[in-house]
């Protein structure tokens, strides 16, 4: 997955031609480590339809503040430069994949 920061956020996320799933994480966050393989699998399944990127919340405080992060991991789905979905809590793998598939399917309509 691509690492994004404050310098390339506009180009990689807001100006992207496809939906972008942004994973805000931190190195100390054990739940963040659990979600990474799920997101990698999701990206593999939808490689032509969605871009999945990581943002280290500790190193990108302006973005963390802008998107009002209250917990990690936080997932934001962007479509045409706007947030179309937000998930501030970790759910189990099956439920997360189902939810992400639903959100992406709705955006393709």
Query: What is the pTM (predicted TM-score) of this model?
Result: 0.90
Give me the pLDDT at residue 108, please.
64
Give me the pLDDT at residue 109, please.
54
Largest CA distance in the chain: 38
Full strand arrangement of the beta sheet holding 51-56: 2-3, 51-56, 20-25, 74-79, 82-87
Domain count, the chain: 1
Q: Mean pLDDT of successive 10-residue segments in the chain (109 residues)?
A: 96 96 96 89 86 97 97 94 90 80 74
CATH number of the structural domain spanning residue 84: 3.40.30.10
109 is catalytic: no
Among 11, 26, 74, CA closest to 66: 74
- Of 13, 20, 21, 32, which one is the catalytic site residue? 32
- Of 18, 29, 96, 99, which one is the catalytic site residue? 29
Cβ neighbour number for residue 82 with a 10 Å cutoff: 8
Domain range for 25: 2-108
């Amino acid at each position: 997955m691509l690492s994004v920061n404050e310098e390339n956020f506009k180009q990689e996320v807001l100006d992207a031609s496809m939906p972008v799933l942004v994973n805000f994480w931190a190195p100390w966050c054990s739940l963040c480590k659990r979600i990474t393989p799920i997101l990698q699998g999701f990206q593999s399944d939808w490689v032509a339809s969605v871009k999945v990127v990581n943002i280290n919340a500790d190193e990108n405080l302006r973005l963390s503040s802008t998107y009002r992060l209250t917990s990690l991991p936080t997932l934001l789905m962007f479509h045409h430069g706007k947030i179309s979905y937000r998930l501030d809590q970790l759910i189990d793998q099956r439920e997360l994949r189902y939810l992400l598939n639903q959100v992406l399917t709705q955006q393709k309509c």
